[in-house]
Amino acid sequence: MSEITNRDRAEWAQQALEVYSTLIQDDPAVESSPPLMQDLLTDMMHLARFEKLDFSEVLRLGNQHYEWETEEDLDDEGDESPPGYTSVKDWSPKDKRGS
């Protein structure tokens, strides 16, 4: 098994956003919603509240893991997107309709 890279992790996150996008595409609030990643994080906060988790602690730990994971391989991989990568910056759930 090959070593997992941060590019792999980024691609997994992109796939999660694609799935989330299809789940919320019929939400009437989508037209005025914030960018998709923000919306997902907001919904994760709702989930944390219902699960009685401290989201700021989850976020703190996530930041800590991110720092650990990016310490070594940024020099190797750089910040460039892989070929064929589509940025999620301008995604809208309505872009995924009919997929």
85 is a domain residue: no
**pTM score:** 0.68
93 is a domain residue: no
72 is a domain residue: yes
91 is a domain residue: no
Expressed as residue numbers, the domain containing 50 is: 1-26+33-78
Sign of the torsion angle spanned by Cα atoms 63, 68, 71, 74: negative
Domain count, the chain: 1
45 is a domain residue: yes
Query: In this structure, what DSSP letter does residue 79 have?
Result: S
What are the Cα distances from residue 75, in Å, to 14, 20, 72, 82, 92? 22, 31, 7, 15, 32
- What tens digit of pLDDT does each residue of 37-95 get? 888 999 999 999 999 999 999 999 999 999 999 986 655 555 566 555 556 555 554 55
